[in-house]
Amino acid sequence: MNQRLYTGDNAVKMIAKTIDDTDQLYAYNIVNYKVTELISEVSYSSAQKAAVMDSFQQLKKLLMSAGNPMPSQVLKLVTAPPRMPLKDIKDLICGLEFKPPVSVDICGSFTSGLALRSTTMVDVRLIIPKKYYSKKDYLDQRWLVKKAYYAAFLLDYLSAHSGDQYTSYYACPNDNPLDILLHISCKSSVTFRHHTEVMLMRKKLDIQVEEGVDIPTPLYNHVLSTNQMYGSGEELTADWVKESDVIKQCMILTKIWMHQRDLDEGFQCLNTFTLRMFMIYLLRNRQLPYHTSAHRMFLAFLQKIVSFDWTVPFSLKEDITTECLDGQKKVSEIVFMDPTGFVNYCAAVSLTSLDQLKLHAGETAEFILRDEDGSFEDTFIKRILPHLYYDHYVRIDDVSKLSCKDVNRYVDSCGDAVYSCLPNILDILKKGLGNRITNVGVSPVRRVVMPVNCKQPFSRDSIEDMLVIRFHVNPDSINNTLERGPPADDSAAAKFREFWGERAELRRFMDGAICEAVFWEASTVADKRVIYGKILSHLLSLHCGISEEVLTYSANKLSSVLEYDGFEERRHLVTGEEEATHFQSIYFKLSKHLRALKSLPLGVTDVLGVGPACRNTKLYAPPVTNYISSKQYATFNPQKIICVMEGSKWPDSEDYEAIDTLKMLIAIKMKESLNALDSVEAFVRQGYLTVFMEQHQFDISIMNVGELIKLRNNHTTPRLQQQFTDSVILPNLTSLLNGLQSQHATYATAARLLKKFFGSHMLTSLLPEPITDLIAASVYLDAKPYQAPRCEMVAFFRCLHLIANHDWANNPLVINFHEEINDDALSEIMEKFRLHRHEYPCLSLVTPIDRKSILTRPVMPFMMKLVRDIATFSLQSVENVSLTKDLPSSQAAMTLFEPDLSMMDVLIELNPETQRRLQFPLQQDGRKVELFMDPAGNYIKHIQESYSDKAVILYDVNNIKYVGLIWKPGAFDPIPLKKSCSDVDKSSKKLTELEGEVCMSLDINAVLQDCNFVGKDIVKNITVMGGVLRQ
């Protein structure tokens, strides 16, 4: 044995490798344990299976004893059957013998142990007697009519012989408009879905709608062949499930994964059964390993879904002919034949649905490869909501009124508008938007569950009459206003003009070429946000006859929320992005001027912005300042800037007077140099330098490098912590968020939406602006299980979802800029947080620049619960904003920003005249006089000073219309009377005697009188809302 392998550096490497292997094995076992626990949680237990079987046996006994009704009763079973192109249905069903089914058996995933108990749906297969149908029932959709009447016959018998033991309704499997299934629910909360099986002709691919006219009808053929061969893959599934528990677990994981993303719902989707058969196809061809863990096999399966060539026909039947596959390929986009060779599992699957599935599979595989253990919850536990996943959507109302140009599809689907018109709409959308989008998804069209006594089970009114198409936008092309087409003399120019209609025009480009083009006028960011909607509205109106009145586009739904309130002169800026950008340019220009100053005794090393305006996230950009000279000025919103000087020539750090003197001298020198510049006016004030530049005021504080280093090392007292926050944390935060904004253009608007939301719900006193900026940043930096948002509205919705669902009690929210917090540091932070949880606020944020959550203000637990409840309630309204037909888009969006005033204990309404801040620039005896008036702000300051220990004071900083008081726990508890209590303390309290001791407690009437007296001419009304005292 070579001893050198176990000495020196080799020994260290081997130990390190052993540790790595042990860590990987530990993580591998943890994931396997989670898989086992998850599957045991979602699968049927033995007792539940026994209960289902008992319910099924009772139902089977009833169905097998069904009798033959009189011919006169047959037509009364259903008022009107599904719409079929038959002249006389009576001729078809008269003389039929309604006999009990040949057999009734449980089928589907329940028999293989793959069913999820959350669905409570068990498939049952009924075989109809041969005498009930004829060999030509595949023509003219006769079989569908007979099937509907046979289901009605069974239903009539059950209603007469079982009382109220069962409830029944009609529904479509996978929302297929042609298929009708009878659902029977029993009292044990299990629903049996009945599939009827019949043997008809299998050779004919085209059905005869009119005599002598054959039209390809792949959808009808698919329904017919599925009815004949239902359950053709069950035996194959059972064999592979018995082969290995890993295969069974992988199939269940796949089913859970699809269900959490709604990939198994809706017409034209790849359902879980089809995907399970695809997995078996890969296993049979040895393209998928199963001698591993279920989680690793699931990962390999996702990768195979993405890489597999779905355009080439394939089959589970080994000896299938090429002719058969080619014949199916002519009428179906995807061909995947069953073991019998008669059923194409993917006959109704569209390429759009396949692309949707591949996108989800690729993203999930990427997350798992990045962090196998950490991604488990994102993959299988979290629900992936479409309004949080996609960037934009367009909703088309009144889908049933759409006219279809494809007669074949219209006849094939029996007049179903979605199946007939959707392919044409998607083609137009993809061609018109081009590289502006990266992916398209169609939300499942929910077909209404129909009661058994409905007049027309499958009429045009049996669907939710809207179609929602969602897509991911390309951030590189989102602001393009010009669509360049082919050269004017090119043969493709005519097609371009035909496609774009009157919007097409000739333009000369910078390279000298004259080309066809389409220009969308957009002068602001808000205008550019709706270019997609303009394109869709124009093209759908031109090619599909869809008017603008039935279209709703999502991107501008929240634009009205960000419009300025109370600044009429700026309303032309719409949502204010241009003004914010203009201020940023002024700030950067001033920074450049400061760095270039040469006459200073010390050089400027850095210029740091402190306020939200410097990081482009202020709800309303700073107002302009009208000033004449340095002796006459006024502003309410000066922007704070820190100018960091070289640290080599400063006095001793303990000589504060010398340091302040030097700062004043540097400020005077700065003033002299800046006043020499055009459009800049500066003057020295006590403690800082005030600079007016292009109608904006900046207050510049001067610091040296040594002061910053000292603050970083010592900020234990509250005063030092505040200095550390203002001088170190906030400037670094500004720099980080400006970098984030350069990567994600929608970040600033998303942060402003979140601030508007908190303000409208009067929560800004609890959640200051830096906290809001960090919460908004977190959905961009850690977007799992989604991609980083490319739409401000989606980012805002994700922020609400984060606030409502994050485990604030046990975990801080980590915002890891540039991944500066490594795994070891993160583990240390989490451990300290759990050990000293009482020292951290309820809402704790950790960043690389603030690992102790200094920025976060203390929030009482009951107020944190209130914040989460507001976010949760708003999330429930989010989908209504997307899918509301009755309200205009602006009104539907505004419902998210309406406060619930009933949560207040005391509500103070202020007069509108006193809400605006007043400013008066005056000059008296040659001296500068500043007269600033903020009545509402001063009133709130008084309430906070007087009652902040007894109540939480809530208000909107940007629009102080209401002031709310919520009493803290124990606010009314009596406390002993002390001699040190001032008259002010006693004025709002009443004296009581408790156990022989004089005590005082809060007197709510005295509080109301005080609030009303101090707020004379400010307060309009004070209401006691009757809120429950918090215990």
pLDDT in tens, 697-717: 899 999 888 888 888 777 777
What is the phi/psi pair of residue 399, to 5°? Answer: -60, -35
Q: Which CATH number fits domain 900-1024: 3.30.1360.120, 3.40.50.2300, 3.30.70.3030, 3.40.50.1370?
A: 3.30.70.3030
Contact 754, 775 (CB under 8 A): yes
Q: Which CATH number fits domain 560-743: 3.30.70.20, 3.40.50.150, 3.40.605.10, 3.30.460.10?
A: 3.30.460.10
What is the phi/psi pair of residue 557, to 5°? Answer: -65, -35
Q: Which of 433-442, 636-645, 920-929 is predicted with the least confidence, judged by mean pLDDT?
A: 920-929
Task: Encode burial over 120-137: b for 16+ CB neighbours within 10 A, e otherwise.
Answer: ebbbbbbbbeeebbeeeb
One-letter amino acid identity for 680?
A: V
Contact 314, 152 (CB under 8 A): no
pLDDT in the model for residue 840: 86
Cα distance from N-terminal residue to C-terminal residue, the chain: 72
Compute the average pLDDT of residues 974-1001: 60
pLDDT in the model for residue 212: 43
- CATH 3.30.70.3020 maps onto the chain at 388-481+520-556
HSE-up of residue 349 (Cα within 13 Å, Cβ side):
27
Of the candidates 61, 753, 1014, the one whose C-alpha atom is nearest the C-alpha of residue 1022 is: 1014
Residues 6+ apart with CB under 8 A from 635: 623, 625, 697, 919
pLDDT in the model for residue 749: 92
User: Model pTM?
Assistant: 0.87
Residues 6+ apart with CB under 8 A from 75: 90, 93
pLDDT at 725 over 70: yes
pLDDT band at 628 (very low <50, low <70, confident <90, very high): very low
Q: Which of 130-134, 445-449, 658-662, 729-733 is predicted with the least confidence, judged by mean pLDDT?
A: 445-449
pLDDT band at 922 (very low <50, low <70, confident <90, very high): very low
- Quick one: DSSP state of residue 402? P
pLDDT band at 486 (very low <50, low <70, confident <90, very high): very high
pLDDT at 820 over 60: yes
C-alpha–C-alpha distance, residues 317 and 325, integer Å = 11
752 to 138, 575, 638, 867: CA distances (angstroms) = 61, 10, 19, 18
Residues 6+ apart with CB under 8 A from 1003: 988, 989, 990
pLDDT band at 547 (very low <50, low <70, confident <90, very high): confident
Q: What would the two tokens of residue 395 be? A: 């909703």
User: Which residue reads 């793959």 in tokens?
Assistant: 114
pLDDT in the model for residue 190: 67
pLDDT at 195 over 80: no
Residues 6+ apart with CB under 8 A from 405: 424
pLDDT in the model for residue 556: 75
pLDDT in the model for residue 86: 43
Share of the chain above pLDDT 90, in %: 24
572 to 479, 526, 565, 959, 1001: CA distances (angstroms) = 20, 11, 12, 20, 53
One-letter amino acid identity for 61?
A: K
In terms of C-beta density within 10 A (0-12 exposed, 13-18 middle, 19 or more buried), how is residue 291 classed? Answer: exposed
Of the candidates 481, 478, 468, the one whose C-alpha atom is nearest the C-alpha of residue 442 is: 468
Sign of CA dihedral 13, 15, 16, 20: positive
- Strand pairing report for 639-645 and 696-704: parallel
- Please count the residues of the chain: 1031
pLDDT at 771 over 80: yes
Q: What would the two tokens of residue 493 be? A: 């120019």
pLDDT in the model for residue 633: 45
Contact 808, 844 (CB under 8 A): yes
Q: Tell how far CA 349 is from the center of its chain.
A: 26
What is the phi/psi pair of residue 984, to 5°? Answer: -65, -40
Q: Got the DSSP string for 818-864?
A: GG-S-HHHHHHHHHHHHHTGGGS-SS-EEBTTBTT--SSPP--HHHH
- Report long-range pairs for 721-728 (Cβ below 8 Å, ≥24 apart): 721/854, 724/854, 725/854, 725/855, 726/610, 726/640, 727/642, 727/701, 727/703, 728/849
**Cross-strand partners of 543:** none
C-alpha–C-alpha distance, residues 294 and 33, integer Å = 11
- CATH 1.10.1410.10 maps onto the chain at 232-384
Compute the average pLDDT of residues 395-416: 77
pLDDT band at 167 (very low <50, low <70, confident <90, very high): confident
pLDDT in the model for residue 981: 52
**Cross-strand partners of 993:** 998
- CATH 3.30.70.3030 maps onto the chain at 900-1024
Q: In what order do the strands lie in the sheet with 975-976?
A: 975-976, 997-1002, 989-994
Compute the average pLDDT of residues 888-892: 55
Compute the average pLDDT of residues 97-105: 82
Q: Which CATH number fits domain 43-228: 3.40.30.10, 3.30.460.10, 2.60.40.10, 3.40.50.2300?
A: 3.30.460.10
Compute the average pLDDT of residues 112-136: 81
Higher local confidence (pLDDT), 844 or 22: 844
Q: Would you say domain 388-481+520-556 falls under CATH 3.30.70.20?
A: no
pLDDT band at 876 (very low <50, low <70, confident <90, very high): confident
The SS3 assignment for 868 reads helix
Compute the average pLDDT of residues 265-277: 85
pLDDT at 968 over 80: yes
The SS3 assignment for 775 reads helix
Contact 388, 801 (CB under 8 A): yes
Where residue 108 falls (left for φ over 0; alpha for ψ -120 to 50; beta otherwise) is: left
pLDDT band at 662 (very low <50, low <70, confident <90, very high): confident
Crossing angle for the helix pair 747-760 and 730-743, nearest 10 degrees? 120
Compute the average pLDDT of residues 448-457: 55
- Report long-range pairs for 397-403 (Cβ below 8 Å, ≥24 apart): 397/465, 397/466, 397/550, 397/551, 397/552, 397/885, 398/465, 398/466, 398/550, 399/445, 399/463, 399/465, 399/466, 399/467, 400/460, 400/461, 400/463, 400/465, 402/544, 402/545, 402/546, 403/545
What does the mean pLDDT of the chain come to?
A: 80
The SS3 assignment for 209 reads strand
C-alpha–C-alpha distance, residues 799 and 1007, integer Å = 37
pLDDT at 416 over 60: yes
pLDDT at 569 over 90: no
**Cross-strand partners of 923:** 928
Higher local confidence (pLDDT), 104 or 71: 104
pLDDT in the model for residue 883: 55
- Quick one: DSSP state of residue 998? E
Q: Tell how far CA 16 is from the center of its chain.
A: 42
pLDDT digits (tens, 9 = 90+) for 41-94: 999 888 888 888 888 888 888 888 887 654 444 444 443 444 444 445 666 666
Share of the chain above pLDDT 70, in %: 82
Say which CATH topology domain 232-384 has. Answer: Poly(a)-polymerase, middle domain (1.10.1410)
pLDDT in the model for residue 68: 62
C-alpha–C-alpha distance, residues 1028 and 1031, integer Å = 9
CB atoms within 10 A of CB 333: 19
Contact 605, 664 (CB under 8 A): no
pLDDT in the model for residue 994: 56
**Cross-strand partners of 186:** 166
- CATH 3.30.460.10 maps onto the chain at 43-228, 560-743
Compute the average pLDDT of residues 906-931: 62
pLDDT in the model for residue 893: 66
Q: What is the dihedral of CA 446, 451, 453, 456, to 10 degrees?
A: 0
What is the phi/psi pair of residue 596, to 5°? Answer: -90, 0
Furthest CA-CA distance within the chain: 112
pLDDT in the model for residue 706: 81
Compute the average pLDDT of residues 127-139: 78
**Cross-strand partners of 848:** none
Q: What would the two tokens of residue 154 be? A: 């069974």
One-letter amino acid identity for 229?
A: M
C-alpha–C-alpha distance, residues 122 and 254, integer Å = 19
Cα-atom radius of gyration of the chain, to the nearest Å? 35
C-alpha–C-alpha distance, residues 416 and 618, integer Å = 50
pLDDT band at 287 (very low <50, low <70, confident <90, very high): very high
- Cite the beta strand spans of 212-258 per DSSP E: 213-216
pLDDT in the model for residue 632: 45
